[in-house]
Amino acid sequence: MTAQPIPFPDAALRTTPMPRMIRAEGQLRAGFISSARGTALSTLFESGGYRLKFPRGEVCEAVLVNTGGGMVGGDRLAVDFQFDEQTAAVITTQSAEKIYRADGQMSEIDIALTLGARSHVNWLPQDMILFSGARLSRRFRVDMAADASVTLFESTVFGRVAMGERVTQGLFRDHWRIRREGRLIFADDVKIEQDMAAQLNRKAMGDGARAIGTCLYIAPDAEARLEDAREALQDALCECAASAWNGMMIVRFVARDPSTLRRSAAQFLSRFRNADLPRVWQC
């Protein structure tokens, strides 16, 4: 008995973009209100394989779950969360989000947060891991009241170092816009494309970095807490620095080893917030 080899698909077929209909179109919309028992969910809409789970605990903790296990080119996720007056919540992800190699189309993530008066939100997702050939466009928009406060943390890993991966061709585009009382107070754009490893190796850009992270804290006491932040960074394992101005504070992290950035950021976030990280971070 002999086995017949299966012919490999034609090269033209392998490079044909996947139809739009089989790409993931995810949406998460949620509203949060203040109740006698604390912050509670008021509305929730989920679609496209994305879910929002709420582990039991003392604080309102929402966990984003991607049942697809990652994103490929053409996948889209739109997140829209509304926080009413005097609400407090922690938003995180079940695990690191993986952005796989694309066939030319972009993976797109759009995040919109609206914060009412005296609300406080901690946006603390786990790592975003880009594979070689990934193409990601992420847009982050926050509209907040003057006396609201928000802590935003995002970290991006360029390839799995433990697997010997090196991210060469690809695209990473990150776009942040924060408005307080309708006025633009923070704008940040990052674009790394083509040979991303070569760009990150440049001295003025990453000096060999394989992971980058940003923590933005906006609150009435942000500038007064700058020394608290620097003290929380004292024994960090990676390059990092903090600065504050105009009612906001920003901390940047950069590391050649993604695991050192994760440990340093986790330590900082716990110390600065004087609170444990979401439980899923330790799973």
Kindly give the confidence (pLDDT) of every residue in the chain, 283 residues in length, as a single tens digit, with 9 standing for 90 and above.
444 444 434 444 444 555 554 578 999 999 999 998 899 999 999 999 999 999 887 889 999 999 988 999 999 999 999 999 999 999 999 999 999 998 889 999 999 999 999 999 999 999 999 998 999 999 999 999 999 999 999 999 998 877 777 787 899 999 999 999 999 999 999 999 888 888 888 888 888 889 999 999 999 999 999 999 999 999 999 999 999 999 999 999 999 999 999 999 999 999 999 999 998 998 6
pTM flag (> 0.75): yes
Residue 231's DSSP bridge partners are none
CA 173: distance to chain centroid? 12
Instruction: State the Cα–Cα distance between residues 20 and 26, nearest whole angstrom.
Output: 13
Q: Are the C-beta atoms of residues 219 and 228 closer than 8 Å to each other?
A: no
Under 8 Å between Cβ of 113 and 123: yes
Residue 232, number of CB atoms within 10 A of its CB:
21
Q: Please list, in sequence order, all residues whose beta carbon lies within 8 angstroms of the beta carbon of residue 214, skipping any fewer than 6 positions away.
A: 152, 153, 154, 155, 188, 250, 251, 252, 253
pLDDT value of residue 6: 43
* Distance (Å, whole) CA 169 – CA 194: 5
Three-class SS state of 244: strand
Helix (H, G, I), strand (E, B) or coil at 280: helix
Question: Distance between CA atoms of 102 and 17, rounded to whole angstroms?
Answer: 9
Fill in the amino acid letter for 186: F
